Structure 1
């Protein structure tokens, strides 16, 4: 297995993965718009970076992240937006390999920390993060406002 950044050539497969992620969370599994994916990830000012875990040509999972500022003081943090492993590849070390690469990306960028959220009704994810040594943070409430 290898983990590397997604490239524009991965756009169509990312579209399929986004549909799988949407279905995993109970939504309608409609593939993402390839043009929107290209703009979001491969424009001069990308909204995020995506790491892909692969076994040969097969994509096993992804991690999507952005940098946030300020984190603590004037520090920068890496924010993990999505960690997803295809069902056929779960429990095979894919998520751990993606998290390892995220730690490297954060260190390379001079970040002081990595941050993320997890759904409280996803016990497998919560157990995975706890196994990594991460502890849930108290004192924050997650908000969302639709546009």
Structure 2
């Protein structure tokens, strides 16, 4: 597979919106595309909330990784937070997730980050197996919280 991983641009907003629907469906929700205007504002507006890396095979998007900076990480250091790693169904088990993880690590190094952090759902065995295969140990020192605003 000849994968190319690159940062998403405004021209990818519709594809990203569709993939957000695929992600929602993967986790048991409705398979509806996200609002393209919201995607554009979040990723390409005056205050981008995240950077999206897209894995492409030719013209097709195979997967994505969404990352944001966290500060402070330790002291005044910065970390890169992987919010979403998703590989579309036809591309799973073909090394796409590994390539995206490698690209995330490269993004972190290029930005001067000291680490990459992420969470994984306990009921997502493929993701947990990937992280185990990458040699990454779970960090049991944190408890994840979520609040609605």
Aligned residue-pair number: 147
Instruction: Give runs of ≥4 in structure 1 deviating > 2 Å.
Output: none
Q: Give TM-score, length-normalised by structure 1.
A: 0.98
Which residue pairs with 2:59 in the alignment? 57
- Alpha carbon RMSD of aligned pairs, Å? 0.6
DSSP 3-state at the match of 1:119: coil
DSSP 3-state at the match of 2:100: helix
Where does structure 2 lack aligned partners over 5 or more consecutive residues?
none
CA-to-partner distance for each residue in 1:29-55, whole Å, 9 max, x for gaps? 111101110000001210000000001
Which residue pairs with 1:39 in the alignment? 41
Listed as ranges, the matches of 1:1-147 within 5 Å are: 1-147=3-149
Q: Give TM-score, length-normalised by structure 2.
A: 0.97
In structure 2, what is the Cα distance between the partners aligned to 1:139 and 1:56? 41
